[in-house]
Amino acid sequence: MSPARTDGQDDVRATFVLVPGAGGQAWYWHRLVPELERRGGTAVAVDLPAGDDTAGLERYTQTVLDAAAGSPGGPLVVVGQSMGGLTAPLVCTRRPVDLLVLLNAMVPRPGETGGEWWAATGHEAARAEAARAHGWPLDEDAFIHDVPPEVLATAPVPFAQSGTPFTEPWPMPGWPDVPTRVLAGRDDRFFPVGFQRRVAAERLGLPVEELPGGHLVALSRPVELADRLVGSLAALPAP
C-alpha cells in the first residue's frame, strides 16, 4: 500500500509524459499515473517499440510525440527514466516542453552511442564501488530489490529490449534549451546516486536531487515521486 500524502499538493494543471527505460513498457508507470491524476495532472505513459529491431531513436521519439499529441493545455513535463534519457531530450526538440526530468537516467553526449555510454561514464566500476561501500550483492538483481512482490507479480513478460537504439549516435549537437532537473533514487543499486551525481555534473553542470527508492522508483515509491514531480513545477515561470 502506498503511504499517505503529507504535502497537501493538489489541483495540478500539467501534463506529464512518461518515457520508460529498457523494455519500453507503459506498465512501469502504472502506480505513478493515478498519483499524478489524483493531484489534478494528466499522465501519459508511453509504450515504446522496444522489441522491434527496426526501431531506433527516431521511432522512439516519434512514438512519444504521437502519445502526447492530444495532451491538454498547461505545462508539459517530459520524464525519462533510465534508458529513456536517450529519447526524452529528443522529444524536447520537436515540440515545446516546459520541463525535462531525468529519473535515474542515462545522460548522453552528442555523437555518443548508448552502447558507448557505459564505458564512457565508468558505470561498471562505479556500480562495483557502491556495492562494496554499501554491502550490496553484485550478483543480485539491482532493479527490483525494493519493489513490492505483489507489484512484480503483475508485471508483463518478457521485458524485451532491442539493441538497435544503443548502436545509434545520439543525434543532437547539444542538450536542448529546456529547464532540466535530475532526480536520483538514493537506493539505486544499478545507477548509484554518487555515479549519477558525477555524470550530471560532468555532462549537464546540474545537481542531482535525491528521493527515496531504487532504480525503479515509480514502482517502489510512486507517492514520493509524484510529490517530487509536482513540486518541480513550482520552479517554472508563471504563464
pLDDT in tens, 153-170: 999 887 789 999 999 999
Q: Looking at the domain assignment, is residue 50 inside a domain?
A: yes
pTM score? 0.93
Q: Looking at the domain assignment, is residue 215 inside a domain?
A: yes
Grid cell digits, residue 137:
550483492
Q: Looking at the domain assignment, is residue 8 inside a domain?
A: no
Q: Are 20 and 6 in contact (CB under 8 A)?
A: no
Q: Looking at the domain assignment, is residue 7 inside a domain?
A: no
Total structural domains in the chain?
1
User: Phi-psi bin for 37: left (phi > 0), alpha (psi -120 to 50), beta?
Assistant: alpha
Residue 202 CB burial class (10 angstroms; 0-12, 13-18, ≥19) = exposed
Q: Looking at the domain assignment, is residue 207 inside a domain?
A: yes
pLDDT band at 73 (very low <50, low <70, confident <90, very high): confident
Q: Looking at the domain assignment, is residue 2 inside a domain?
A: no
What CATH code is carried by the domain that includes residue 34? Answer: 3.40.50.1820
Count of CB atoms within 10 A of residue 109's CB?
A: 16
Q: Looking at the domain assignment, is residue 1 inside a domain?
A: no
pLDDT of res. 179:
97
Domain limits at 28? 15-235
Q: Looking at the domain assignment, is residue 9 inside a domain?
A: no
